[in-house]
Amino acid sequence: MSRTTTSPSTEQPLSGGMLWFAAIILAAANFVAVLDMTIANVSVPTIAGSLGATSSQGTWVITSYAVAEAITVPLTGWLAARFGAVRVFTIAMALFGVFSALCGLANSLGMLVFARICQGFAGGPLMPLSQTLLLRIFPKEKATAAVGIWSMTTLVAPVLGPMLGGYLCDEYSWPWIFFINLPIAFACAFIAWKLLKRYEEPLVRNPIDRIGLALLIVWVGSLQLLLDEGKNLDWFASTEIVVLGIIAVIGFIAFMIWELHEEHPVVDLRVFRHRGFSASVLTISLAFAAFFGANVLTPQWLQTYMGYTATTAGLATAWTGVFAVFVAPLAAGLSAKVDPRKLVFWGVLWLGIICLWRTVATTDMGYWEIALPLMAMGLGLPFFFVPLTGLAMASVDEPEMASAAGLMNFLRTLSGAFATSLITTLWDDQTMVNHAELVAVSDSDQTLQRFFEGMGSTGETTLQNIDRLINAQAVMLATNQVMSIVAFSFIVAAFAIWLAPRPQRVVDPAASGGH
């Protein structure tokens, strides 16, 4: 790849079948980058067991990727301007394949987490650049179709991830959830360069905000480590956690001060002066955190305590995506005709109501009793994601759209990573509390012991049976309690959107294709 391309190519723009072929390549790149945020969800128990780690440590496989991806998203604009959007996209796609291979070859949790961090760094630019390049290659009158393709892959990939991950884990082995990326990544990189290098634009050599980037990595990394390790180290009773907390707070304050005064900030915090954008970001952060947390919790609960295989757990959670696909075109159509705040409010409120429905789950539930509320969630998902992006972009000035899009993607991805750590920690803690309370009840009431003795069980076997039953109920109660918190987050997010004023303009879809 030559680095001499500093002006637009004289080659003819793509058209017809080649245009749509290029669109499929870009959509596939976005799909695998988003897919890898959730493909490991159902595989965490398998990966943890294979590498000799606990399930809570296994969630590092999810959070490390999400945090690394979130950090590189705001950098995409600078990288694309400095080196060229097509060149950065192609290199990131190829590196994504290389680090996917390293993930599959990992023989320890430490090596896997390191490879996932590198994979996340490579995957971060793929999401915004796939959108940017789609809008660059499509004629202006077809920009809506380009945004529709990109939105569909962004919406469906996180839900199909658990299904594909479960199937590969059961039928083959967990490394294949990473190995399947290789042919897609290398093919996309090669074809994208051949087809899209004609769309490279002149380079802009803006300075990089090195101090801002360093502060971002410090405070985000410290906070994520604190959330991941807090439970294992007894939270703030541990010196290590206290130090991480102090570093995170100081790093965050320093980052805020620096970015507000830097001429070329890595994250342009000034866009928060727009009330509509602030309300949209608050809504999407709360709602995505709730959605992502529930998506991580559900397959773990189904596999670890309900006896589901990874494949069956993935199939159950995939129903959300199936219904979302059918409803997405309706949501996109209504976004241009109806006040987007109404669509977002009812869409997110619907997700909260469905999660309240899920707070009465029992250990006796069958597959369809579990799948039905997950199907219903799919009906509300597009009404929150599609119009909210348009509302956020309509709230900022046109020159700020690239910064606003990058900041929103950054906070959305980061909220998913934080929610994963918080929800799995809360789930484990509530399980222990519930277990202790149920043991106290069973000790004072000998009914269970008499029941098992009546079934022919004696001595140690009776105690084991009682403990197994208590543990199953403790987990079920904890799952319902966490789901009630998820529902509350959705409901708060739904009402938060009313903090935004009614948008005064409709955004040209091509204008929001920033980094």
Tens digits of per-residue pLDDT, 256-314?
898 888 887 877 788 888 888 899 899 989 998 898 888 878 887 887 778 888 778 87
Question: For position 498, what pLDDT does the model report?
Answer: 92
Question: For 282-515, CATH number?
Answer: 1.20.1250.20
Question: For position 454, what pLDDT does the model report?
Answer: 55
Token couple for 481:
């309690």
Question: How many Å apart are CA 254 and CA 108, to the nearest integer?
Answer: 35
Question: How many Å apart are CA 356 and CA 364, to the nearest integer?
Answer: 18
Q: Provide the 8-state DSSP code for 266.
A: S
The CATH number of 1-208 is which of 2.60.40.1220, 1.20.1250.20, 3.20.20.110, 3.40.50.620?
1.20.1250.20
Question: How many Å apart are CA 92 and CA 181, to the nearest integer?
Answer: 13
Q: Percentage helix, strand, coil, to 5, in the chain?
A: 80, 0, 20
Question: What pTM, to 2 d.p., does this model score?
Answer: 0.78
Question: For position 4, what pLDDT does the model report?
Answer: 41
What's the sign of the alpha-carbon dihedral 76, 5, 27, 384? positive
Question: For position 456, what pLDDT does the model report?
Answer: 56
Token couple for 499:
């903090």
Q: What residue ranges do the domains of the chain occupy? A: 1-208, 209-265, 282-515
Question: For position 507, what pLDDT does the model report?
Answer: 55
Closest CA to 36 of 175, 176, 149, 177: 177
Question: For position 133, what pLDDT does the model report?
Answer: 82
Question: For position 449, what pLDDT does the model report?
Answer: 57
Nearby residues of 364 by Cβ (< 8 Å), 6 or more positions away: none
Question: For position 91, what pLDDT does the model report?
Answer: 93
282-515 and 1-208 share a CATH fold: yes
Residues of the chain with pLDDT under 70: 1-16, 55-56, 141-148, 232, 398-399, 402, 441-466, 504-515
Q: Quick one: which H or E segment has residue 492?
A: helix 459-496
